[in-house]
């Protein structure tokens, strides 16, 4: 057999790049896309970067005119002040007292967020499985109603939710926040999980039942492990939705028994003055937990949401 001669690399280039006198094509579409993406990225990253840098500044440097964007005298006292109140000086700006309540607020936020994650995984899994596997009249309408209920503005149901929580004697408690957050996170969880559950072959369930598993054993040992990406996506969505929620937390809580981190962050801004360094440090502390979770599970999150959306 005769060998096929492979042309040199320069001869394998597109024709328009080799013909003399013909202008090269400029990839305007790619340039526009990357330019817009860069602008959006900078729009998001730069303000948060400034907050991070400000959190390591001294008070005098943070309020200097013209402003300093890079700390020349780095200090960690702004973070230590949240856990060592004696570092707060008597002549600091008004609003620094909120730093003493930050550890308790972090604990409250964690309790509420973890509770919402557990509730969403439990209720979402059972309801999602029912919508994905059981055939009953009105299932599609019920799903549309669930997701459609989230189109109602929070202010429209605020009074009704407040009255419900008050009638249950749950005001100023973590239970009030858990009950409130459940109403607007579970519908999304059901929608995501039922979409992903439909992509799982039913033969896996049949094989588990042949091996002697009951429904609960089949769900725990076979079905849910296969649906791990969607479960992680739901867990992180539930965590983020409850961790950063401000409106209902402001209305439902009045004392440190139930105040969460977003409320404490807002208390650094007062009618008299503001402590910019403590405000920046509190914002960074509030963002760290969801940011770490998002970065750690980003691949599974994308897989869990995209697979159900494409194949569901």
Render pLDDT for 167-223 as a digit per residue (tens, 0 to 9). 999 999 999 999 999 988 999 899 888 888 888 888 888 888 888 888 888 888 888
- Say what the pLDDT of residue 310 is: 47
Residue 241 has pLDDT above 50, yes or no: yes
- Say what the pLDDT of residue 92 is: 52
Least confident segment among 21-30, 93-102, 121-130: 93-102
> Which residues are paired to 274 by β-bridges?
269
- Say what the pLDDT of residue 176 is: 93
- Say what the pLDDT of residue 307 is: 59
Q: What percent of the chain has pLDDT over 70?
A: 83
In three state form, how does the secondary structure of the chain look?
CCCCCCCCHHHHCCHHHHCCCCCCCCCHHHHHHHHHHHHHHHHHHHHHHHHHHHCCCCHHHHCCCCCCCCCCCCCCHHHHCCCCHHHCCCCCCCCCCHHHHHHHHHHHHHHHHHHHHHHHHHHHHHHHHHHHHCCCCCHHHHHHHHHHHHHCCHHHHHHHHHHHHHHCCCCCCHHHHHHHHHHHHHHHHHHHHHHHHCCCCCHHHHHHHHCCCCHHHHHHHHHHHHCHHHHHHHHHHHHHHHHCCCHHHHHHCCCCCCCCHHHHHHCCECCCCECHHHHHHHHHHHHHHHHHHHHHCHHHHHHHHHHHHHHC
Domains parsed from the chain with CATH numbers:
23-87 (no CATH), 98-311 (1.10.3720.10)
Q: What is the mean pLDDT of residues 64-72?
A: 80
- Say what the pLDDT of residue 7 is: 53
What token pair was written down for 151? 């189109």
Q: For 145-167, how does the pLDDT look when each residue is reduced to its tens digit (9 = 90+)? A: 888 887 888 888 888 889 999 99
């Amino acid at each position: 057999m005769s060998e096929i001669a492979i042309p040199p690399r320069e001869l394998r280039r597109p024709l328009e790049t080799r013909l003399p006198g013909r202008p090269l094509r400029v990839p305007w579409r790619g340039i526009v896309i990357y330019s817009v993406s860069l602008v959006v990225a900078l729009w998001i990253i730069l303000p948060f970067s400034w907050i991070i840098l400000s959190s390591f500044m001294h008070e005098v440097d943070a309020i200097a005119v013209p402003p300093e964007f890079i700390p020349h005298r780095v200090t960690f006292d702004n973070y230590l002040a949240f856990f060592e109140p004696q570092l707060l000086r008597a002549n600091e700006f008004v609003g620094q007292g909120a730093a003493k309540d930050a550890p308790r607020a972090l604990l409250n936020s964690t309790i509420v967020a973890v509770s919402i994650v557990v509730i969403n995984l439990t209720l979402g899994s059972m309801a999602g499985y029912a919508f994905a596997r059981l055939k009953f009249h009105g299932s599609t309408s019920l799903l549309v109603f669930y997701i459609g209920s989230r189109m109602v503005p929070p202010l429209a149901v605020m009074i009704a939710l407040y009255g419900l929580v008050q009638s249950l004697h749950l005001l100023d408690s973590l239970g009030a926040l858990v009950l409130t957050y459940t109403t607007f996170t579970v519908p999304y969880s059901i929608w995501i999980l039922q979409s992903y559950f439909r992509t799982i072959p039913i033969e896996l369930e049949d094989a588990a039942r042949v091996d002697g598993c009951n429904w609960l054993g089949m769900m725990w040992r076979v079905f849910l492990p296969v649906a791990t990406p969607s479960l992680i996506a739901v867990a992180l969505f539930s965590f983020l939705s409850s961790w950063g929620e401000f409106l209902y937390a402001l209305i439902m809580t009045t004392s440190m028994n139930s105040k969460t981190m977003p409320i404490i962050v807002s208390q650094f801004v007062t009618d008299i003055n503001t402590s910019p360094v403590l405000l920046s440090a509190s914002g960074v502390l509030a963002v760290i937990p969801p940011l770490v979770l998002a970065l750690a599970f980003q691949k599974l999150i994308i897989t869990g949401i995209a697979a159900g959306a494409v194949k569901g």
